[in-house]
Amino acid sequence: MLEKLADKKLFRTKSYIAGSWCDADNHNIIEVINPSNKQVIGTIPNMGEAETKRAIDYAYGALENWKWTSVKDRADILYKWYDLILANRDDLATIIVLEQGKTITEAHKEIAYSASFVKWFAEEARRIYGKIIPSPIKNQKIMVTSEAVGVVGIITPWNFPSSMIIRKVSAAFAAGCTVVIKPSELTPYSALALGELASRAGFPDGVLNIVTGEAGAIAGELTSNKIVKKISFTGSTRVGKLLMSQAAGNIQRLSLELGGNAPFIIFDDADLDVALNCLIAGKFRNNGQSCVSPNRIYLQKTIYEKFIDKLTNEINKVKLGDCFDKDATIGPLINQASIDKITYLIKDAVSKGAKIFSGGSKAGEDGYFFQPTILVDANHQMEIAATEIFGPVMVIYPFETEDQVIKLANDTDYGLASYIFSKDYARIYRVSDALEYGMVGINEAIISNEIGPFGGIKQSGMGREGSYLGINEYLNIKYKCWNV
């Protein structure tokens, strides 16, 4: 890792608590693997309950000052962090490539995406408005203000190791909260590099703490410690449910950005080239390892063969390969468990009538690579229809009518992203209203940015990230009734 970085100090291998870089109390470590070649990149401390408790205490110690700094001061530090992130973008992108396996082009996009949230929330810090409301009673004034929730536990995934942290943390800081972050143990170095830059930006000690290690003990402490007033988590629905039950003990506030099972509906009146380009861009973003990735592609029967031919042509151009190669389109999956899961889902689908049109198996022995795959003639009896695939597998389902496809699209416990392709505006209105999802891409597959409210309904979670709503997740409302 080190030889690839211009600024070697960005490769931090210890946890960051109260402004110091620390080992686990028992000196236990975890190895971090590069998914492109299965080599060990380095180690991190495997911390547990005691270290997490300590980090929470420090975050609490820093809260009182941070919460009452002026919004201008908080915004200024966020702007400094933003500048430092952009100034170090090459190194930060390199770290993402090495620990996560996305291509260097995508890693650069992730850093730009991350930085956009820091800038956005630096701006939002200045817009934490209140209200004075006329009272029903003479001589009374009603005043409504917002204040920081307090210490926040932030638990993040491996698929976007930088932006998923920053999207939460920037909003929390802008609101005046202090945080204890538990990054994925598969991709901790992006988090630690961001910690290094945060310390250079001037965040006071204790405002940002990063505890590395396995999830169970750290999340257990974050959800059971009374000081922690909120948990913000991005990850699977299974873990989201577990955290929700743990958080119930102290009625902690929750933001949960969980799994998806995005329908991608292509009507026969769509511009098929637009639909095709969007499908390739959406599906292969991060090699399909995204909760908003098109998971079920519904293709109207009248264009079924024509579209699949076009798609096969395009998929043959996808280049699997060395993530530092600027021409590579996709890299490896995160680990062997991912390959096993996808192999199982494809086998189950084929046993129930799906056909493999291209790809279908792992590629090479060196890393966790999987061939870009097209499965056609899928149906809802297959497990793949109910499961978030998290890989480069396009699964195509035929449909005939608008009513039928709406029912199929909504036939899932998830409700995060959905996509419609059509040129008929009346149909777009009808279908986008009928879809039970938090987000709808219309003739568009790349819907993630700092300004739109990102989040889902049903078992895809609760709360919104980014946008004018994101900061509210870290603010409590206070109502003062004033006799004047």
Residues that bind ligand SIN (CB under 6 A): 159-160, 164, 234, 290-292, 448, 454
Nearest-10 Cα torsion for 434, 440, 442, 448: 180
Q: How far is the CB of 255 from ligand SIN (least distance, A)?
A: 13
**Cβ density class 405-435: b for 16+ within 10 Å, e for less:** bbebbeebebbbbbbbbbeeeeebebbbeeb
**CA Rg value for the chain:** 23
Structure tokens at 427: 């149909």
CB 148 within 8 A of CB 63: yes
CB 173 within 8 A of CB 148: no
CB 256 within 8 A of CB 192: no
The enclosing H or E element of 299 equals strand 294-300
Give the CB-nearest residue to ligand SIN. Answer: 448
Nearer to ligand SIN, 113 or 399 (CB): 113
- Per the DSSP assignment, residues forming a β-bridge with 454 are 465
Q: How far is the CB of 165 from ligand SIN (least distance, A)?
A: 11
Nearer to ligand SIN, 110 or 124 (CB): 110
Nearer to ligand SIN, 300 or 448 (CB): 448
Question: Is 31 among the catalytic positions?
Answer: no
Q: How far is the CB of 466 from ligand SIN (least distance, A)?
A: 8
The enclosing H or E element of 220 equals helix 215-224
Q: How far is the CB of 164 from ligand SIN (least distance, A)?
A: 6
Nearer to ligand SIN, 277 or 449 (CB): 449
Other CB atoms within 10 A of residue 301 CB? 11
Nearer to ligand SIN, 13 or 234 (CB): 234
Q: How far is the CB of 271 from ligand SIN (least distance, A)?
A: 24
List Cβ neighbours of 454 (8 Å cut-off, separation of 6 or more). 167, 257, 439, 448, 464, 465, 466, 467
HSE-CB of 194 using CA atoms within 13 angstroms: 28
Nearer to ligand SIN, 230 or 285 (CB): 285
Q: Which of 196, 257, 388, 450 is catalytic?
A: 257
Q: What is the DSSP string of 305-320?
A: HHHHHHHHHHHTT--B
Query: CA nearest 54: which of 230, 216, 180, 149?
Result: 180
Give the N- to C-terminal CA distance of the chain in Å, as an integer: 64
Q: How far is the CB of 22 from ligand SIN (least distance, A)?
A: 29
Q: Beta strands 20-22 and 15-17: pairing type?
A: antiparallel
Q: How far is the CB of 257 from ligand SIN (least distance, A)?
A: 6
Nearer to ligand SIN, 199 or 234 (CB): 234
Structure tokens at 92: 């930060």
Q: How far is the CB of 292 from ligand SIN (least distance, A)?
A: 5
Nearer to ligand SIN, 159 or 190 (CB): 159
CB 324 within 8 A of CB 281: no
Catalytic residues: 257
